[in-house]
Amino acid sequence: MTALSDVRNAEHLEEAARYVEMWLGLQVNIEGFYQLTEGDDLLRPLAQDYRGLRIVQIPELFEALSWAIMGQQINLTFAYTLKKRFVERYGEGMAYQGEMYWQFPKPEDVVNVSVEELQELQLTRRKAEYILGVAKLMITGELEKAQLESLSDDGLRQRLLAIRGIGPWTADYVSMRCFGRTSAFPIGDAGLHQAVRKHLNLDRKPTVKELETLGARWQGWQSYATYYLWRSLSTN
């Protein structure tokens, strides 16, 4: 690892290394997933094609929740546009070799921002309210990642669902991308539906029952099955 500043404090470097390990999902032993795919006709070719692929994490809870809220019921391209506007207005930037690198805003950076100001970025009023609501919960200490990490998968999901603006898809997505829960299954995800339809050669999108059956087959590794299916959509 190379530090871009003059900081050489061993403790800081170790903390950075742990963060990168979490960010890249290296703390998860995915051999169990590969063992599961060996007996699964749908996943086996994907595991062979993308072997070594891990779920890239979003370690910061506020970023994970905000990003998931932004992405609700819109296409990915527009979601990235919203995120770029949000980060460049409220985040901190650092110039390096002629490029700007941005840090996602912290809750305290936006907690006093108005709903109307966020709407200027083309966020809907509801999404603006949800993001500001999450920021306030985190500022007051009512919502902390450290407190949630000890919860069971179902306990975590239920706690996330209790937050205004967080539905099943968002709760499952955040469980998967922020907490590294390998059994989270965003069953309502449009990309998941598209990928399953593609690989099963269906002339329609899969039913909830069909997806539940697949999820039961992938027990314990639904997040990785979903991630590999998402990845397959970028391959012709």
Range name among 12-26, 31-45, 65-79, 110-124 with the lowest pLDDT average: 12-26
The pLDDT of residue 235 is above 80: no
Structural domain boundaries, residue 80: 61-174
The answer to whether the beta carbons of residues 14 and 7 sit under 8 Å apart is no
Catalytic residue among 40, 109, 153, 189: 189
The pLDDT of residue 73 is above 90: no
Q: How many domains does the chain have?
A: 2
3-class DSSP state of 76: helix
The mean pLDDT of 156-174, rounded to a whole number, is 97
Confidence of residue 96 (pLDDT cuts 50, 70, 90): confident
40 labelled catalytic: no
Residue 227 has pLDDT above 90, yes or no: yes
Q: Is the dihedral of CA 188, 190, 194, 199 positive or negative?
A: negative
**pLDDT at residue 13 tops 80:** no
For residues 50 and 32, state if they share a domain. Answer: yes
Strand partners, 102: 93
**Average confidence (pLDDT) over 27-40:** 94
Q: What is the CATH number of the domain that holds 51?
A: 1.10.1670.40
With CA atoms as reference, report the closest residue to 196 among 180, 208, 184. Answer: 208
In a domain, residue 170? The reply is yes
Beta bridge partners of 92: 103
Shared domain for 134 and 226, answered yes or no, is: no
For residue 3, being part of any structural domain is answered with no
Task: Write out the DSSP string of 152-204.
Answer: -HHHHHHHHHTSTT--HHHHHHHHHHTS--TT---TT-HHHHHHHHHHTT-SS
Residue 81 corresponds to which tokens in the numbers above? 């546009």
CATH number of 100's domain: 1.10.340.30
Does 191 lie in the same domain as 113? no
Integer Cα distance of 169 and 101 in angstroms: 29
Same domain for 207 and 110: no
Cα–Cα distance for residue pair 233/193, rounded to 1 Å:
11
Q: Write the single-letter amino acid at 103.
A: Q
Torsion (CA) 153, 158, 163, 168 in degrees, nearest 10: 80
| Cα–Cα distance, 169 to 185 (Å, whole number) | 8
Residue 169 belongs to what H/E stretch?
helix 168-177
Residue 236: pLDDT band with limits 50, 70, 90: low
